[in-house]
Structure 1
Amino acid sequence: MLPSTDALLDGLLDWVRIETHTPDTAGLNSIMDLVQSQAEGFGATCQRFPGRDGKGDHLLVLSPWGDHAQKGVLLLSHLDTVHPRGTIEHDLPIRIEEDRCFGPGICDMKGGAFNGLAAMRAIAESGVTPPLPARILFTSDEEVGSPTSRSLIEDQGKHAKYALVTEPARNGGHVVTARKGVGRFTLKVEGRPSHAGARHWQGRSAVTELAHQIIALEAMTDYDREITVNVGEITGGTGTNVVPQFAQAEIDLRVPTAEAADEMVARITGLTPKTPDTKLTITGGMNRPPFEQSDASKALFDHASTLAAEIGFELVGEKTGGGSDGNFIADRIPTLDGLGPDGDDVHTLNEHIFVSSLKPRMLLLKRLMETLS
């Protein structure tokens, strides 16, 4: 028997009540305990990967059906959120207003993560044996770039014939068929300090040089080519009466293709000083490669569209500038992203899902696991 919308929402809210900000390892390990208990309750097998480097555990759930030596369906879900502990009490309490349900991380991405497990449970309880085994990888550090889970994601990709990413839907229920690659860089400038009044002429301002570099970096943005460069954080100087010796900028790069990534990484790391006697140090690179839609991923989307129409809704695909864990494996495995419930205002204190989207999106995940072969 399929769960009702109310039952799905009740189960999801049990997950939302456990706050799981990425640095909150206690909260993350607590929700991993709950997910593991629920998965083992319907016969799934679980493998726990202890957290490291200040991050929480990761959890792999293997379906109770199928031969897991065979390549199957991999669902990627993260359980960390951007909301610090206490948000649910003071700033974003759980509440329902008509079709919207609010709560920290409910959309990004506990809604999709919960639906993936609910879909696996529904299949297990139905007694149907799908053509392929399925596994869900629940991770704890996606919001900070997946530093401890990337290798695990890539390893699990070796066991997958298809990848389904349960990130939230976009713009009215669209799924994600391609994502830009994400690069992160730190630019450090060293100048020469001096007294701003008595010996200003001796100084070489790191802040002035950084300003030149910021203008050069921002000028690399090319909307026609879907390339953006954003200087998002700057620091520098020690006092208003000192010509600053040091300054620093954090840089975000978004690119649609691997070729554009190679080009832009070379341009950014190849920056040279404009101010004499200053030095640039540039570190970083691509955090997530671009997720470009392959022919196989297009076929997966077409199959999902047919299933969605049978369920009763139209599936629309779109590209997005944000990265996800799907970026790590989409070049090797047919991948479809944005399969979570529809919602809005993720990463804000207005984050919510549309309750009416919960069951249809769960059914789509269920039908994908039941039909992919």
Structure 2
Amino acid sequence: MLADLEELVVCESYSADLGAVARSAEVVGALGARLLGVAPETIVIKGVTHLRWTFGTPRVLLVGHHDTVWPIGSLETHPWAVAGGRARGPGVLDMKAGLVQMFHALASLPSPEGVCVLVNGDEEVGSTTSRQLIERSARGCAAAFVLEAAADEEGALKTARKGTSRYEVVVHGRAAHSGQEPEKGVNATVEIAHQVLAVAGFGAPSAASGAPSAASGADGETLGAATVTPTLMSSGSARNTVPALARLALDVRAPTTTEQDRIDALVRGLRARTPGARVEVLGGRQRPPMGPESSAALFALASGIADELGQEPLRGRAVGGASDANYTAAVGCPTLDGLGAVGAGAHADSEYVDVARMVPRARLLAELVARTGR
């Protein structure tokens, strides 16, 4: 498994580099073909390379991704290494170790009959080209197992996820010389400041709405209230010019569809406070929330299997991040996430995988597939 993991990690697959993603797909496809005995179907959508294996009539869907957030060349500063029981390298946790565990889990079964494996190449950027592929594959399946990393270093599964929305608020003003006639301009910087303050209060639901503000995971842990976070902001073109254009990016995380809709209405209802300025809202909802009801039965099954295998008791956590599990759950397919590698530091310099946990996690997945695929 470590040899296979090294092969995947040293083939860099930055989401924005479609050539690198295509090369990674070849490596992942070859690994899957060797372990499963069948070459994958290669699906290229808008230049992004996805892989799919289908065995008979699928009842179980396994979902993973082979793209990473690490730019090409990251191996020079974050080389593949195994030391002290930890494997390191770009994307080792998110989620190349999960792919290795998935293939080895399936290879350990008498037959993969009834399983569909889908490995997409754009999860880290929202699965924009693979969303429909994921949703079509999930419809009609009895279970979807997502090989994202565990929720923490103890191996908790991800039993609920917030939905995501992304917006760009664009302010259109009017340029003028800031020294000679600033009064003739419409200052987009001043207006975007008003918008930052306006959206800062959108996260907490109003008491009058009666909307539930949180969803609970398997252990009763809640996702918490919705969050609306201003992130990137830019304005202006020169130091001596009244800014004619400003942009503000918003990251929205919502625990329920009701909250996601409420915030969408508020963002789209933004209006200019500065005379002469105009506000334009781009973007919108991306991934729908994954409620805890989507994972409840599968988490109970997984807990029983872990006990039978003599593994430590499983925990479930509700998390703020989103994944392709949001899509499978939204089409009505029971979904359990976080079945991939155990470690920490995804997307960060400290990213690592706990090597000793790879085989037990693969065994857990194999039993889950065997029992739900009958």
Identify the residue that residue 103 of structure 1 maps to in structure 2: 89
Displacement of 1:38 in angstroms is 3.1
Structure 2 CA distance for aligned equivalents of residues 129 and 287 of structure 1: 36
Structure 1 CA distance for aligned equivalents of residues 104 and 23 of structure 2: 19
Identify the residue that residue 13 of structure 1 maps to in structure 2: 6
Identify the residue that residue 257 of structure 1 maps to in structure 2: 256
Structure 1 position 269 matched with structure 2 position 274: no
Structure 1 position 72 matched with structure 2 position 59: yes
**Cα deviations by residue, 1:110-130 (Å, 9 ceiling, x for unpaired):** 11122111111111xxxx357
Question: Match of 2:284, SS?
Answer: strand
Question: Normalization by structure 1: what TM-score?
Answer: 0.91
Structure 1 position 301 matched with structure 2 position 299: yes
Do the aligned residues in 1 keep the contact of 2:94 with 2:149 (CA within 8 Å)? yes
Paired-residue identity, %? 34
Equivalent runs, 1:283-322 vs 2, <5 Å: 283-294=282-293, 297-311=295-309, 312-322=311-321
Identify the residue that residue 3 of structure 1 maps to in structure 2: none
Do the aligned residues in 2 keep the contact of 1:119 with 1:366 (CA within 8 Å)? yes
Displacement of 1:81 in angstroms is 0.2
Structure 1 CA distance for aligned equivalents of residues 29 and 328 of structure 2: 25
Structure 2 CA distance for aligned equivalents of residues 240 and 27 of structure 1: 40
Structure 1 position 141 matched with structure 2 position 122: yes
Structure 2 CA distance for aligned equivalents of residues 142 and 175 of structure 1: 19
Question: Normalization by structure 2: what TM-score?
Answer: 0.90
Do the aligned residues in 2 keep the contact of 1:45 with 1:62 (CA within 8 Å)? no
- Relative to structure 1, is the Cα distance of residues 129 and 20 closer, same or farther in structure 2, using a 3 angstrom cutoff? closer
**Cα deviations by residue, 1:161-181 (Å, 9 ceiling, x for unpaired):** 200000000122111001000
Identify the residue that residue 237 of structure 2 maps to in structure 1: 238
Identify the residue that residue 113 of structure 1 maps to in structure 2: 99
Instruction: Point out where structure 1 has 5 or more consecutive residues left out of the alignment.
Output: 1-7
Question: Match of 1:183, SS?
Answer: strand
Displacement of 1:106 in angstroms is 0.4
Structure 2 CA distance for aligned equivalents of residues 35 and 255 of structure 1: 33
Displacement of 1:47 in angstroms is 1.3
Identify the residue that residue 200 of structure 1 maps to in structure 2: 182
**Cα deviations by residue, 1:126-184 (Å, 9 ceiling, x for unpaired):** xx357x61111010001111111011101111242200000000122111001000000
Instruction: Point out where structure 2 has 5 or more consecutive residues left out of the alignment.
Output: 206-212, 215-224
Displacement of 1:45 in angstroms is 5.2
Structure 1 position 337 matched with structure 2 position 340: no
Identify the residue that residue 188 of structure 1 maps to in structure 2: 170
Structure 2 CA distance for aligned equivalents of residues 191 and 24 of structure 1: 35
Equivalent runs, 1:156-235 vs 2, <5 Å: 156-171=137-152, 172-222=154-204, 226-235=225-234
Structure 1 CA distance for aligned equivalents of residues 291 and 266 of structure 2: 22
**Cα deviations by residue, 1:272-319 (Å, 9 ceiling, x for unpaired):** 11111110000111110011122x520111001111122212210001
Structure 1 CA distance for aligned equivalents of residues 173 and 78 of structure 2: 45
Question: Match of 1:177, SS?
Answer: strand
**What letter is aligned with 2:63?**
L
Displacement of 1:97 in angstroms is 2.7
**What letter is aligned with 1:292?**
G
Identify the residue that residue 62 of structure 1 maps to in structure 2: 54
Do the aligned residues in 1 keep the contact of 2:68 with 2:124 (CA within 8 Å)? yes
Q: How many residues align?
A: 352
Do the aligned residues in 2 keep the contact of 1:112 with 1:166 (CA within 8 Å)? yes
Do the aligned residues in 1 keep the contact of 2:62 with 2:144 (CA within 8 Å)? yes
User: Which of 2, 19, 23 does residue 30 from structure 1 map onto?
Assistant: 23
Identify the residue that residue 277 of structure 2 maps to in structure 1: 278
Question: Match of 1:242, SS?
Answer: coil
Structure 2 CA distance for aligned equivalents of residues 362 and 37 of structure 1: 19
Structure 1 CA distance for aligned equivalents of residues 191 and 147 of structure 2: 43
Do the aligned residues in 2 keep the contact of 1:191 with 1:244 (CA within 8 Å)? yes
Structure 1 CA distance for aligned equivalents of residues 17 and 312 of structure 2: 37
Structure 1 CA distance for aligned equivalents of residues 362 and 243 of structure 2: 56
Do the aligned residues in 2 keep the contact of 1:308 with 1:314 (CA within 8 Å)? yes
Identify the residue that residue 362 of structure 1 maps to in structure 2: 362
Structure 2 CA distance for aligned equivalents of residues 196 and 27 of structure 1: 46
Displacement of 1:235 in angstroms is 1.1
Displacement of 1:219 in angstroms is 1.9
